[in-house]
Structure 1
Amino acid sequence: MAEASAETTLRNELDAFARAGRRVPLWWRDDDAVEPSAALDRLLRIARRRGLPLALAVVPLGAREGLAARLADEPAVSFLQHGSAHRNHAAPGGRAVECGGDRAADTVLAELSRGRAILEDLFPGRFLQVMVPPWNRIEPRIADRLAGEGWRGLSTFGPVAEPRDDGLAEVNAHLDILRWKGGAHFAGRDKLLLDMAGQLAERRAGRSDEPFGVLTHHLDHDEESWAFLDELLGLLAAHPAARWIGAAKAFGLPGVEEAGR
């Protein structure tokens, strides 16, 4: 018997959820937004065509007023905070990190708070107090103080090991369509489809209802990335086992009305 295609494997896994009377909560996060661009326009066209909510993680110290103007009439878009300036402050020899590194926690947290004020001003009523650390990396000494500094959520990458006990909602992304080693490039269609199918199979077996996050970086997409993104979102938007939710719902926060099903 011929081996099932990667697409069939993912569809079969979604079908298994449907047969079990379950739906997969899905959300979409795109990182590194700072200003209007042709790539952002393309991202928004895909979101509108598929009728999906989109969470943009914005770099506050790079954000331009033009970004707010461009997105004023995009009601399905919500806004998260992508660090402060997206600068690496790792100690010598350490992995890239902005939320930690060689600086005192008070310094990092003050910088993040200043960035939050910028985004609250740019996106009134649509900014969610959710921290998305650059490189999906945040040191525990910073993360453990976020709730006390007024943050409501945290989003990095990979399954949440265990729920936090400090009131901070942690909702991560799980499928990055890009690979970063050697420079950003498309991760590969079959690899991504099989990766998602495998992760969903583990959730179904463990009966996890953690929202599954699709992660994109519009400024770094090549044509293969764009084509795959449209294909994947189309497949997921059409399947009855997929339940798309906006970021506000994913984090259990009050927010603007967001498109989705």
Structure 2
Amino acid sequence: MAADPWVDLTAELDAWAAAGRAASFWWRDDDATAPSPALDRLLGRAEACGVPLALAVIPATAGPALGDRLAAAPAGIRVLVHGWSHGNHARPDKKKSELACGRPMAEMTADLTRGRARLDELFGPRLLPVLTPPWNRLPAPLIRELPAIGINGLSRFKPRKTRTPAPGVVEVNTHIDPIDWHGGRGFTGEVAALGAIAAHLAARRTGRADPTEPTGLLTHHLVHDQALDGFLDRLMAHFAAHPAVIWPDLQTVFAA
């Protein structure tokens, strides 16, 4: 392990380049509902870097103002279905989940149906029919019901076990979360964030993780601090300078 985590990341990207392979990435940001200075900074960063960005939008609280704001955004900014209201329905002894085990299936599919319809109304062709379950959790039987309600993609956290967890559903997950949720909700630091990126890339390169699943960055613009925003600027510049890094179009990422 080198003393500088940026050196380690460069070495891993160099290994991809030496093998003649492209290191693919994608970026998902959760909990969008309305325009804000934080959202402007996020969109501006993605646009300046020419990087596609998937915004996981909460349907119940999203309004026309967000639709108007995104209407002026680059075509690479796409919207995903972030559950319905981001409300916790799990039992007190279980981890938080909106789409919780024990909820009636009909109730959950009804929530997702109206959520998808709401985002289609607000964002039209910018919407990708991909579910990002709040807290990245949902029961397995619900996945099989998604195509019937017009959702053919799924995105959670951690390396996927399979590309198609149910017929008609493509899963593409995120793998790096640079926010320390249990230690003050600040930036985890460069060592942790860069180490997670390099580790997932190495697992893909060596076959310990699905090599075709792009390495996913997960952010939450509403809780970013200055340190995290600065890190994202440095990270995007670092990626832009390396020939092995590619950012596929999000339609391609979730293509069947």
TM-score, normalised to structure 2, is 0.94
SS class of match (2:55)? strand
For the Cα contact (< 8 Å) 2:99–2:137, is it kept in 1?
Answer: yes
Trace 1:97-112 onto structure 2 (pairs within 5 A): 97-112=97-112
Contact 2:97 2:134 in 1 (8 A): yes
Task: Report if the CA contact (8 A) 1:237-1:244 is conserved.
Answer: no
Q: What are the Cα deviations for residues 170-200 of structure 1, in whole angstroms up to 9, with x where unaligned?
A: 0001111112114422111111111211111
Q: Which residue of 1 aligns with 2:187?
A: 186
CA separation in 2, counterparts of 1:154 and 1:146?
A: 9
Q: For the aligned residues, what is the CA RMSD?
A: 1.5
C-alpha distance in structure 1 between counterparts of 2:71 and 2:2, whole Å:
47
SS in 1 for 2:125: coil
Residue identity opposite 1:56 in structure 2: L
Q: Which runs of 5+ in 1 are unaligned?
A: 254-261
Mean CA deviation greater in 124-133 or 140-149? 140-149
Q: Which residue of 2 aligns with 1:257?
A: none
- Quick check: 1:210 aligned with 2:209? no
Supply the distance in 2 between the matched residues of 1:230 and 1:105 (Cα, whole angstroms): 42
Q: Report if aligned partners of 2:76, 2:250 keep a CA contact under 8 Å in 1.
A: no
**In structure 2, distance between residues paired with 1:39 and 1:129:** 25
Q: Which amino acid aligns with 2:13?
A: L
Matched position secondary structure for 1:186:
coil
Q: Which moved more, 1:215-224 or 1:100-109?
A: 100-109
1:214 is paired with a residue whose SS is strand
**Cα offset for 1:112?**
0.8
Whether contact under 8 Å (1:159, 1:174) holds in the other structure is yes
Counterpart of 2:226?
A: 223
Contact 2:200/2:215 (<8 A) preserved: no
Asked if 1:15 is matched to 2:18, the reply is no
- The equivalent residue for 2:153 is 153
Q: Does residue 117 of the first structure (1) align with residue 117 of the second (2)?
A: yes
Aligned residue identity for 1:223: Q
CA displacement at 1:120 relative to structure 2: 0.3
SS at structure 2 position matched to 1:7: helix
Does the 8 Å contact 1:100/1:142 carry over to 2? no
Q: Which amino acid aligns with 2:170?
A: A
Return the offset for 1:145: 1.6
Whole-Å Cα distance in 1 between the matches of residues 240 and 61 of structure 2? 32
Counterpart Cα distance in 2 of 1:139 and 1:44: 32
- Give the drift of 1:210: 1.1
Q: What is the CA–CA distance in structure 2 between the aligned matches of 1:136 and 1:233, rounded to whole Å?
A: 25
Q: Quickly say closer, same or farther: Cα 1:35–1:235, change in 2 above 3 A.
A: same
Partners of 1:3 and 1:152 in 2: how far apart? 41
Per-residue CA deviations over 1:220-261 (Å, capped at 9, x if unaligned) read 1011111111111221122111110232111016xxxxxxxx
Equivalent in the alignment of 2:133: 133
CA distance 1:54–1:35, change in 2 (3 Å): same
Deviation at 1:3, TM superposition (A): 3.5
Amino acid at match of 1:73: A
Aligned with residue 247 of structure 1, among 222, 243, 250: 250
1:101 is displaced (CA, Å) by 4.0
Report the counterpart of residue 57 of structure 1 in structure 2. Answer: 56
Unpaired segments ≥5 residues, structure 2: none
* 1:233 maps onto 2:232 in alignment: no
Q: Partners of 2:244 and 2:44 in 1: how far apart?
A: 24
Instruction: Give the aligned residue type for 1:202.
Output: A
* Cα deviation digits, residues 128-164 of structure 1 (max 9, x gap): 1100001111111222221233211000001011232
1:168 aligns with 2:174: no
Distance 2:125 2:244 in 1: 31
